[in-house]
């Protein structure tokens, strides 16, 4: 087993070389051997735009990401009548493994929020909460970069399987996730993190654990904003922004703004009508409903101070243009220049706030090439937190 120093000295290049298949592995082709594998191979070829695909090919090695996975799992439900969460790809990343899951007799796989992305290792586990996307596929590269000795569990939102009922309160999410992580780690000190809105869930989990008398050694906020950290825009400033955006993007800006606004209102009415009549939603609609539930939870959450330390990882680049069309209450690229540099966490961190600036924007901080530096910084922070927790344990 590697020592801590050896593990931390592994470069991203070396790590990539360990994760990527060798040439001999990459050249092996095994054709589909049954009807499910054949149908699934065709779906993979459509989604990934690669032909042919071997049954031992790994979805992620072929360039698959979460957006393509959404399309793939929509097609799986339509073709096989199986509702699966995207996290299934973490435990079954090859075509033959995923086909095996689909072939199981049960109508759907039993759902848990806790996903063991990288469960092995001697260090205390890190539990990382989902963002608005609700799934945990985005954490896979981060978990790999943290190394084989760092156990890493993702927490996905209830409802991403298309079956379970989404939670729409941060407090309820935190309580449910605490119950699940205790199945892996019955007592503290706990190491928590979360991306985007998931950072708020991790924050509330830390508060609840602290209230129960449990030790929380680390709370990492991966580009997580407190909603009030942006300057409130006056009516005059709002109209001024719309005028500037008209000159930036032309007529398509107000048209897209109106379209997305009407689309969100339509979905809200459609969801409620469909639920009343049918009792459940199709997979693609259910997935959108989960995102709506998370945004509702963020809007209604009341932030209260936390006695411990918080660690903030800030993306340094302006969010992309797509942020101009997000729902009301979400920051736009214009808000970037009026934000509180502490993202609103300074007054909430009773034990102090430590912030780190990292390359990328909110949408790319967890992706290559930015995730490698994020992992190095996070790894150093975890090591420091472990050392402090060990000293505290020896003194107590």
Instruction: Say if residues 166 and 297 touch (Cβ distance below 8 Å).
Output: no
pLDDT class of 78 with cuts at 50, 70, 90: confident
Same domain (yes/no): 319, 194: yes
Q: What is the mean pLDDT of residues 104-111?
A: 66
Residue 41 domain-assigned? yes
Give residue 217's pLDDT.
97
Same domain (yes/no): 207, 341: yes
Domain extent for 319:
114-231+300-395
Query: What pTM value is reported for the model?
Result: 0.81
Residue 204 domain-assigned? yes
Q: What is the mean pLDDT of residues 207-222?
A: 96
Please give the Cα distance from 365 to 373 (Å, whole number).
9
pLDDT class of 18 with cuts at 50, 70, 90: very low
Taking the chain, what is the end-to-end CA distance rounded to the nearest angstrom? 30
Residues 6 or more apart whose Cβ sits within 8 Å of residue 131: 138, 194, 195, 196, 197, 198
Give bridge partners of residue 220 from the DSSP assignment: 193, 311
Same domain (yes/no): 96, 152: no
Please give the Cα distance from 168 to 296 (Å, whole number).
6
Residues 6 or more apart whose Cβ sits within 8 Å of residue 115: 87, 90, 91, 136, 153, 154, 155, 156
Same domain (yes/no): 98, 126: no
| Least confident among 29-38, 160-169, 194-203, 326-335 | 326-335
Residue 139 domain-assigned? yes
Residue 59 domain-assigned? yes
Q: What CATH number has the domain bearing residue 86? A: 1.10.1200.10
Give residue 334's pLDDT.
79
Domain boundary among 83, 103, 123: 103
Number of domains in the chain: 2
Residue 82 domain-assigned? yes
Same domain (yes/no): 160, 36: no
Phi-psi region of 225 (alpha: psi -120 to 50; beta: other; left: phi over 0): beta
Q: What is the mean pLDDT of residues 217-244?
A: 83
Tokens of 197: 């809105």
Residue 43 domain-assigned? yes
Domain boundary among 76, 103, 130: 103
- The secondary structure of the chain, three-state, reads CCCHHHHHHCCHHHHHHHHCCCHHHHHCCCCCCCHHHHHHHHHHHHHHCCCCCCCCCECCCCCCCHHHHHHHHHHHHHHHCCECCCCHHHHCCEHHHHHHHHHCCCCECCCCCEEEEECCCCCCCEEEECCCCCCCHHHHHHHHHHCCCCCEEEECCCCCCCCCCCCCCHHHHHHHHHHHHCCCCCCCCEEEEEECHHHHHHHHHHHHHHHCCCCEEEEEEECCCCHHHCCCCCHHHHHHHHHHHHHHHCCHHHHHHHHHHHHHHHHHHHHHHHHHHHCCCCHHHHHHHHHHHHHHHHHHCCCCCECCCEEEEEECCCCCHHHHHCCCCCCCHHHHHHCCCCCCCCCCECCCEEEEEECCCCCCCCCCCHHHHHHHHHHHHHHHHHHHHHHHHHHC
Same domain (yes/no): 179, 203: yes
Same domain (yes/no): 72, 180: no
Same domain (yes/no): 137, 216: yes
**Of residues 295 and 221, which shows the higher confidence score?**
221
Residue 332 has pLDDT above 90, yes or no: no
Same domain (yes/no): 176, 55: no
Give residue 327's pLDDT.
63
Same domain (yes/no): 42, 136: no
**Of residues 1 and 120, which shows the higher confidence score?**
120
Residue 96 domain-assigned? yes
| Least confident among 97-101, 223-227, 392-396 | 392-396
| Least confident among 113-122, 257-266, 309-318, 344-353 | 257-266
Same domain (yes/no): 80, 150: no
Q: What CATH number has the domain bearing residue 328? A: 3.40.50.1820
Residue 363 domain-assigned? yes
Give bridge partners of residue 126 from the DSSP assignment: 152, 191
Domain boundary among 84, 103, 122: 103
Same domain (yes/no): 154, 85: no
């Amino acid at each position: 087993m590697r020592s801590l120093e050896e593990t931390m000295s592994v470069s991203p290049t070396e790590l990539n070389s360990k994760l990527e298949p060798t040439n001999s592995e990459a050249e092996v082709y095994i054709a589909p051997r049954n009807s499910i594998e054949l149908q699934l191979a065709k779906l993979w070829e459509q989604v990934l735009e690669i032909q042919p695909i071997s049954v031992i090919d790994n979805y992620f090695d072929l360039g698959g990401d979460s957006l393509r996975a959404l399309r793939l799992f929509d097609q799986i439900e339509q073709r096989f009548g199986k509702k699966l969460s995207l996290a299934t790809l973490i435990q079954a990343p090859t075509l033959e493994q995923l086909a095996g899951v689909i072939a199981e007799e049960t109508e759907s796989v039993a759902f848990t929020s806790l996903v063991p992305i990288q469960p092995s290792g001697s260090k205390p586990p890190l539990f990382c909460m989902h963002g608005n996307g609700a799934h945990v596929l985005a954490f896979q590269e981060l978990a790999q970069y943290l190394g084989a000795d760092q156990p890493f569990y993702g927490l996905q939102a209830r409802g991403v399987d298309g079956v379970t009922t989404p939670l729409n309160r941060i407090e309820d999410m935190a309580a449910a996730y605490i119950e699940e992580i205790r199945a892996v780690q019955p007592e503290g000190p706990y190491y928590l993190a979360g991306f985007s809105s998931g950072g708020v869930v991790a924050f509330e989990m830390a508060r609840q654990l602290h209230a129960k008398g449990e030790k929380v050694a680390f709370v990492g906020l991966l580009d997580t904003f407190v909603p009030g950290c942006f300057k409130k825009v006056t009516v005059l400033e709002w109209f001024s922004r719309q005028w500037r955006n008209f000159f930036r993007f032309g007529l398509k800006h107000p048209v897209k703004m109106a379209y997305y606004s009407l689309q969100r209102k339509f979905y809200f009415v459609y969801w409620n009508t469909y639920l009343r009549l049918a009792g459940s939603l199709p997979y693609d609609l259910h997935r959108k409903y989960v995102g709506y539930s998370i945004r509702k939870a963020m809007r209604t959450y009341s932030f209260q101070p936390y006695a411990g330390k918080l660690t903030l990882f800030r993306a340094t680049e302006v969010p992309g243009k797509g942020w101009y069309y997000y729902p009301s209450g979400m920051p736009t690229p214009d808000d970037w220049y009026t934000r509180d540099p502490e993202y609103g966490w300074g007054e909430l961190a009773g034990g102090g706030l430590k912030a780190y600036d990292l390359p990328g924007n909110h949408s790319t901080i967890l992706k290559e090439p930015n995730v490698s530096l994020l992992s190095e910084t996070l790894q150093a922070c975890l090591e420091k937190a472990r050392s402090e927790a060990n000293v505290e344990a020896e003194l107590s």
